[in-house]
Structure 1
Amino acid sequence: MVRFTAVGLRYPSPDGRAGPEALSDLTFTLPEGSFTWLLGASGAGKSSVLRLMHLAQLPTRGELEVLDTLVRPERRAALPALRRRIGVVFQDFRLLPYLSAFDNVALPLRLAGRSESSLRPDVTEMLRWVGLQGKELSLPQQLSGGEQQRVAIARAVVTRPALLVADEPTGNLDSLQARRLLALLTQMNRLGTTVVVATHSEELVAQFPAPALVLDGGRVVHHG
């Protein structure tokens, strides 16, 4: 499902030259249908790993395989279709403030060309699944932080992605909301989606035991 082989990543420095490696010699495999915690201190490289997994960034060296597809710079034309099979949940939600909860969730389906008549039942069901029935017409600023995060989850999974990655999704939530969010993600995993969640929360990791990929200084120091 996801395979890194000796992957390295450098970001350009302000003068345009290659900076130091943010990730070095990452080698690991995440099986299809797995749930994996991505752990490490701030600056360990968790966000960079997730950016590679959802193809916002391409590796500087090594081999990256996502959803049984070898990712290569010369095959950039194939990346948009591959990205549509990946759901992403951001810590800062990234909802469009001028769209209702319904329209934020419907956005990826509309971008994929789905008709209004076919997408409406899916969006309505997804909002019900995350506990937001009755909030379909609410704008993001009319929702609490936990409700906004649940809209973001609904948007990420409404396309039934094969891979779902979440970057510190509970960082802005209280412990009750965080547990509810993780319950939704684990339910998605039980339905067959491969899930990767980056977190600092030792409490959540203890409550939802799963294999962990631990980073330190841009390197894998534990996987299992």
Structure 2
Amino acid sequence: MSGHRTRKWVRVAGTAQICALLIGMAAGGCARLPYTTQVIHEDRRVVVTLQRETRPVPYSHPVQLRTDELAAALAGFSFREKQRLPLRWFAEEVPPKQIFRSDELQAVVPYLVEGLQKAAPDERVYFQVLAPGMNPAYEKDTTAGWIALREPYLHLTLEHFHAQFPVRKSEQWDLRYPALPPEPKTYLLYFEPGRFWETDPVTGQSAVQLREFLKIAIPASSR
């Protein structure tokens, strides 16, 4: 097969993949997803944006929190990746992992605080904490998720933990064009001290009883 015919075949194949994807989305119905309304901060280390929820959520935004308060709360979160049986039995033997290192909290928390100050009641604060990936020329290491506050509960959802995201699109004739990020995973979250990890009666989701936690996490003299 000549080089011209090869390039033509690859172009047709790539177009066919995209068309198949669009047809599949149309057949399955287009599920509404949260969408970005404002970029709070973006650099090589941190991305923080506001996302509009697709259903009414009675968040307490905008809300004022100090950086030390939010950092103390986020430092208490850990997780396990959700597994099906029988892998779940082995996963439960492994201690939960901390979501954020101290340097990551230092980088992202100021912008999360700003996001909570600017968010509307129907918006959440989405974050990405970035680092060079295993192949830095093509991948970036990404921890991502979102937070929201519905007084007195702080909600956090983790979507990616040190996942390898593409840093740019693939070559023009690559059958995988454009390169797509990995699908979000499902994680089981934990919080310490466990007595502040409760069920929000409105959303039915586990969340941190933030105000009670801050009473013991932040000395009264500094509040």
Q: Higher helix fraction: Structure 1 or Structure 2?
A: 1
TM normalised by structure 1 equals 0.23
Higher relative contact order, structure no. (Cα contacts within 8 Å, ≥ 6 residues apart): 1
| TM-score (normalised: structure 2) | 0.23
